[in-house]
Amino acid sequence: MVLNSNSHKRRNVLAAIGAGAVGALGYPGGGTHTARADNDGDHYHNPVYADRVFPDPTVVRVDDMYYAYASNMEKDDEDQEEMVPIVKSPNLHDWTYVGEAFESYPDWRDDDASLWAPDINYYNDTYHLYYSYSTWGSSDNPGIGLATADTPEGPFTDQGPVFREDELSMTNAIDSDFFVVDGTPYMVWGSFYGIYGVELTPDGTDYVNGTTVHLAGDNREAAKIVEANGYYYLFYSTGYCCEGYDSTYEIEVGRSANALGPYTNQNGTDLRNLNDHNSGVAIVSGNSRFPGTGHNTAIRDDTDGLWLLYHAYDRREPEYVDGTWNRIMLADRIRWDDDGWPVLGCDGTPTAQHPRSRPPVR
């Protein structure tokens, strides 16, 4: 059984919003930041957070609060202030900026690498923040590091790399997802050169030699494993993430009876045999308002319903901010079809609004 390492001390937070998706609103064009709820307070709106660039979200539940973390994007200089931004929310749709997870860059690289794709977990009574440390293109021995803290707001103390590309002979060692099965920690990772999994040491700081497995093919990244309905679901992103409004990023999925696979999709295709962009079965694709949907995390609410948090562009917002891609955070509830496959929205694209108070839809 997978321990929910992204959910700590559940309390009654989302009793007011357990909701199924409603039809996406038409995009009228134009505009700037909009209110996140309508006047009667019955709905919340996507994006749930657009006050700053916030790609690759990861989330953890702490008592009556959710904390989300994001990539810091490109490293411009040593004085850059954005080093894994943190926001918090009591309900997954009203988010407030907290600060940065790091006070300085980890010292195990000396180039222009940035901190990407954080992965927050509460493990062994400590907050474990795994992160990717890499330059764009990741052909320079990228790696996945670990930083720890006693509180979700940090600051986090760097513990160094868990592994680097040359140690496991896997290209593009970024985009980690930590999970636990029957007391044993594992990590999946990979970006466009296959998705892989490996067992970790009991303290979660190192990998176990000889345990690497192949989970999905090329041109896939940002894996997230979720246990539900008697299966393990492997969510991942494919397509082009970073071409602004022309991005083709989308989220696909496979499932397995075993956490380390093999995973097959809705068509019965082994994910290891998919190597072309956007060649699986998408559960979330971009639409006329929200292109470039991808790099998701998942979290349960008090109704035990699962929510998918992910990023996209919003045509109501600037395409770029300060020279970087303006990817903002969206949230949609996961529903399940009769065959136990996840369903997002009404048509597999982001919803523009959700009702705040409805019973869960299964």
Render pLDDT for 2-12 as a digit per residue (tens, 0 to 9): 344 454 433 33
Displacement of CA 320 from its chain's centroid (Å) = 21
Res 75: pLDDT: 54
- 360 within some domain: no
Q: What span, in angstroms and rounded, lies between the C-alpha atoms of 233 and 108?
A: 33
Give the domain CATH number at 220: 2.115.10.20
Res 82: pLDDT: 65
Reported as a single tens digit per residue, the pLDDT across 53-99 is 999 999 999 999 999 999 986 555 555 556 899 999 999 999 999 99
- 362 within some domain: no
- 361 within some domain: no
Domain with 80 in it:
2-355
Q: State percent of the chain over pLDDT 90.
A: 73
Contact assessment for residue 18 and residue 303, using Cβ atoms and an 8 Å cutoff: yes
Per DSSP, what are the bridge partners of residue 235? 224, 253
Res 346: pLDDT: 85
Res 77: pLDDT: 53
- 35 within some domain: yes
Res 36: pLDDT: 42
| Cα radius of gyration rounded to whole Å, the chain | 19
Q: With cut-offs at 50, 70 and 90, classify the pLDDT of residue 43.
A: confident
Q: With cut-offs at 50, 70 and 90, classify the pLDDT of residue 38.
A: very low
- 123 within some domain: yes
- 244 within some domain: yes
**Is the whole-model pTM more than 0.75?**
yes
The CA-atom distances, in angstroms, between 99 and each of 87, 237, 264 are: 7, 27, 39
Q: State percent of the chain over pLDDT 70.
A: 84
Res 169: pLDDT: 83
Query: What domain count does the chain have?
Result: 1
- Measure the CA angle with vertex 242, ends 239 and 244; round to 5°: 110
Statement: residue 25 has pLDDT above 90: no
Closest CA to 131 of 78, 75, 189, 199: 189
Statement: residue 362 has pLDDT above 50: no
**Which residue has better confidence, 170 or 267?**
267
Mean pLDDT score of the chain:
86
Q: What span, in angstroms and rounded, lies between the C-alpha atoms of 245 and 288?
A: 9
Closest CA to 127 of 220, 44, 5, 42: 5
Displacement of CA 111 from its chain's centroid (Å) = 26
Determine phi and psi for 148, rounding to 5 degrees: -130, 155
- 272 within some domain: yes
Provide mean pLDDT across the span 319-340: 94
**Which residue has better confidence, 205 or 74?**
205
Reported as a single tens digit per residue, the pLDDT across 237-290 is 999 999 999 999 999 999 999 999 999 999 999 999 999 999 999 999 999 999
The residue type of 165 is: E
- 204 within some domain: yes
